[in-house]
Amino acid sequence: MKKIIFFASVLSTLLVGCGTKDSGSIRKADLLLDNNLASEAKKELIKIIVSSGSKEKEATAYYKLGTVSFEENNISNALKTWEELVAKYPESPEAGEVKDNIKELAQIVGKSSEEKINNAIAASYIKNGDFWSEGKKRVFSIDSSWIPSVESSIKWYDKVILEYPKTNASRIAYKKKLKTILGWKDIGQYGSTYGIRGNFGKYMPILLSTFKSFEEEHPNASSLQAFRYQIAQSYWKNRYWNETRVWLNKIIEEANEDDSFYKDLAERRLKKVEF
Of 182, 183, 204, residue with least CA distance to 193 = 183
Q: What percent of the chain has pLDDT over 70?
A: 85
Q: Give pLDDT, residue 125.
A: 80
Interval 193-216 mean pLDDT: 96
Interval 161-185 mean pLDDT: 91
Interval 123-138 mean pLDDT: 78
Q: Give pLDDT, residue 114.
A: 53
Interval 69-88 mean pLDDT: 85
**Domains, in order of start, for the chain:** 21-113 (1.25.40), 149-270 (1.25.40)
Interval 198-222 mean pLDDT: 96
3-state secondary structure of 25: coil
Q: Give pLDDT, residue 227.
A: 96
Please, is 217 exposed, middle or buried when counting C-beta atoms within 10 Å of its C-beta (0-12, 13-18, 19+)?
middle
What predicted TM-score, i.e. pTM, was given to this entire model? 0.67
Please, is 223 exposed, middle or buried when counting C-beta atoms within 10 Å of its C-beta (0-12, 13-18, 19+)?
middle
Could you give the CA distance from residue 70 to residue 93 in angstroms, rounded to a whole number?
Answer: 19
Mean pLDDT of the residues in the chain: 83
111 versus 182: the higher-pLDDT residue is: 182
Q: Give pLDDT, residue 22.
A: 53
Per-residue pLDDT tens over the stretch 80-97: 898 899 899 999 988 888
Neighbouring-strand partners of residue 185: 193
Per-residue pLDDT tens over the stretch 108-123: 665 444 556 667 887 7
57 versus 140: the higher-pLDDT residue is: 57
